[in-house]
A and B are shown apart, each in its own frame.
Chain A
Amino acid sequence: MFDRFNENKNCLIKIEFDGTVLDALEGEMVASVLMAAGIMNFRDAPVSNTPRGPYCMMGVCFECLVEIDGVGHQQACLVPVRSGMSIKREKAKRLISDDLVC
């Protein structure tokens, strides 16, 4: 869990995480915004199904992977927020089977 030093600032950017609207400031990374909202559990590990969250915050550990606007496996620590972003928690193995029947 993280807090902002300056909560008074106008958080002009709204993003969505699994249906919940979160406030963010320009320049903040998706991972930071989730953690500031108390979300530490970003995804389930594919082997043991146990929860994982950010470890390195610099793009090397691949623990903060989330789905952003329909694209899976995005490193939330490297992606700055954009207004209207829709973010989803990732399950252990991504399902692409819904798209399979052509």
Chain B
Amino acid sequence: MTLCVDVVIIGAGPAGMSASNMIHEYGGRAVILDEQSEPGGQIYKAIDRVMRDRPNELSWLGSAYHDGARLTKKFRSQAKDYQPGSMVWHIECRNLDGLYNIFYSQAGVSKKIETKYIVIATGAMERPVPIPGWTLPGVMTVGAVQSVLKNSGMYPSGKLVLAGAGPLVLQLASQLIGAGISILAILDTSPKGSFLKALRHFPRALFAGDYLYKGWNLTNKIMQSNIKVYRNVTELNASGDGRLQNLSFKVNETKHCLKADTLALHEGILPNVQLTRLLDLEHVWSPRQRSFSPVVNSWGETSLSGVFVVGDGAGVSGARTAEYSGAIAGIIILERLEYIKESQRDLIIEDRKFRRLLDEGIRPFLDTLFPAPERIGEVPDKTIICRCEEITAAEIREVVKKGCSGPNQAKAFLRCGMGICQGRMCGTSVTEVMSKALEKKPADVGAFRVRPPIKPLSLEEIVTLNDN
């Protein structure tokens, strides 16, 4: 007996919660499958628990984080079919009746659900930043440190170095400063002249002026603290015996060395495309964000009728835009299910589209101020690109010399992307390295195919699936 429903929303971050809130607001029902144990996604991770158990931490976690409670409160009160801890591992399109089968795993037991509509709201991940030594324990991402901070009220206790560029670096630094945690150094990798280039987009950014104000505050806070900030950092290396111990890097040809226990890397974020690639949807390469994202129309629908992608998973635009996009997809589905009239639908959509347009005003400015790094295609030969199978940039360059023409052939020849993370950590880097080596645009190089299951699960779980 398979459950058949109208809508399944995958992900309970701002986009997923907002879609759910909209659908429930007008009497619809949706099943929400989220991998995490609490709603909020990455950005509002654990917000409800922080408010309940650690409210004193809210002051320095910041108002943007606190804002998430607005969504989670409504979400929890309305979404009766919210299923936390549910990992979706396969989606099947049924050609006969146009329905979709969603396979997911809960506490080691797999189930199947049939649905008419799917809202994919699986968000983004941080761009993996291959540097020599990045597989050492102690090398993490800025988002990882922030995630522990929000989720568990913990902070790195040893010597902490942040390296990279992007709003998230400023935000984490400011949060740690607020909490009184010391940061040994910030290594700013954004290239010279980014600010001047970004000024061109300043007028449009004024439409989302509160971001500029916040950014200004964050920057000030860091400048007023006595954290050592190195600018124009290049050639970052991590080393150590079984864990991170030393960092070296260059600033304008001068070599610097630091002792460190935790290194938090960050070079912007990428859409999480596992599900959209699994569905074999068309993807486009964004030269500005240096990432692939699925092609969607203005209300988030993909080339597969009834399948929507909303939020950062459809191209990185931040939490507020994600919220508007989630609501728009929700309202389209409500109308198709005849919960509301077309005129009502259009009214709400126009409102959300207008607000989204204003909010998106900040993007060109941000993307130019913190440009996606072009250097990943040029990382040193010895750098590990595929962490699972430990394939280096040199090995990828070598097979390219011997006629290998694309990521899928490289995967076959090297096992690169065949490991346990299923290509999540090396996919974009392989495209970048091959793009440079082949002298072809990333869009023409392409990307790994994604095959089910998109997360590992035990054979026993599959054998017993039909009993559930």
Contact = CB atoms under 8 A, between A and B. Distances in A.
Q: Do chains A and B touch in the complex (CB under 8 A)?
A: yes
A62 B156 contact: no
A55 B139 contact: yes
Nearest to B36: A78
B148 A32 contact: yes
B148 A55 contact: no
B157 A3 contact: yes
Contacts of B53: 25, 27
B420 A73 contact: yes
A40 to B, nearest CB: 4
A41 B137 contact: yes
Contact of A56 (B125, B136, B157): B125
B390 A5 contact: no
A22 interface: no
Contact of A3 (B139, B155, B242): B155
Contact of B157 (A2, A29, A32): A2
A57 B154 contact: no
B147 interface: yes
Contacts of A71: 108, 458
Interface string B133-172: 0111111110111011001111111100000000000000
B281 interface: no
Interface residues of B, number: 52
Nearest to A3: B157
B140 A57 contact: yes
Chain A facing B: main interface SS: loop
B193 to A, nearest CB: 31
B42 A60 contact: no
Contacts of A57: 140-141, 143-145, 147-148
Nearest to B50: A27
Nearest to A38: B157
B152 A36 contact: yes
Given A27-B46, A32-B154, A55-B139, A60 B390 contact: no
B295 interface: no
Interface of B: 35-38, 42, 46, 49, 53-54, 57, 108, 125-126, 128, 134-141, 143-145, 147-148, 151-158, 179, 242-243, 261-262, 272, 387-390, 419-421, 424-425, 456, 458
30 contacts: A2-B154, A2-B155, A3-B155, A4-B152, A4-B153, A5-B54, A5-B57, A5-B153, A5-B154, A5-B179, A25-B152, A27-B49, A36-B154, A41-B137, A41-B242, A45-B388, A46-B419, A47-B389, A51-B137, A53-B138, A54-B137, A54-B140, A55-B140, A55-B141, A56-B125, A56-B126, A56-B143, A62-B421, A65-B420, A77-B147
Closest 8 CB pairs of A and B: A53-B137, A57-B144, A32-B152, A40-B137, A3-B157, A62-B421, A57-B147, A2-B154
